Amino acid sequence: MTLWLATGCVLVAAGLVALLLHPSLMRKLLGFNVMGGGVFLVLLAVAPRAAGGSADPVAQALLLTGIVIAVAATALGLLLARRYRAATGRSELPDDEAAGTDD
């Protein structure tokens, strides 16, 4: 259990750091997905296992829902990134200094 828990935590941290540091929108989405995978791994690592060796059914149901929602969010995010690129020609959000000064 500790091995998978540690792996999940590393994935969450790595995904979050990538999400924060990469300027490119698609790389942020990739970081978001890796982070999602890590969160699911942490969830399943702490869930108890039933007698026959299969994982906890409630945790599995939560994960199934999570995976579907993650793909919907990723698809929407990618569509928005493509739309942004078509509208402005950029695939990164502008820096705060360049965006002007309005509080």
Partner 1 sequence: MNATDAIVATAAVALAAAVLLARDLRAAAMSFVAFGLLLALIWARLGAADVALAEAAIGAGVTGALLIDAAAQLAGPGRRGGRGPTALAVGLLGGALALVLAHGAVSLAPSAGEASRLVAASLDAAQIVHPVTAVLLSFRAYDTLLEVGVLLIAVVAAQAAPPVPRPPLHHDPVLARVAGVTVPLAVLVAVYLLWAGATRSGGAFQAGAVLAGALLLARFAALPFDPLATRPVLRRAMLALGLAVFIAVALGAGGAAGAVLAYPAAWTGALVLVIEAALMLSIAASLVALFGVGRPQ
Minimum distance between the CB of residue 94 and partner 1, rounded to whole angstroms? 13
Residue 10 has phi, psi (to 5 degrees) of -65, -40
Of the residues 14, 93, 94, 103, which one makes contact with partner 1 according to CB under 8 A: 14
Q: Within 31-60, which residues bind partner 1 (CB under 8 A)?
A: 31, 33-34, 37, 40-42, 44-50, 53-60
Query: How many CA atoms does the CB half-sphere of 47 hold within 13 Å?
Result: 20
Q: Which is nearer to partner 1, 36 or 101 (CB)?
A: 36
Q: What is the dihedral of CA 62, 7, 47, 63, to 10 degrees?
A: 10
Minimum distance between the CB of residue 71 and partner 1, rounded to whole angstroms? 5
Q: Which is nearer to partner 1, 13 or 94 (CB)?
A: 13
Give the span between the Cα atoms of 67 and 23, in whole angstroms.
25
Query: Which residue, chain included where needed, has tokens 């939560």?
Result: 62
Q: Within 63-102, which residues bind partner 1 (CB under 8 A)?
A: 63-65, 67-76, 78-83, 85-86, 91-92
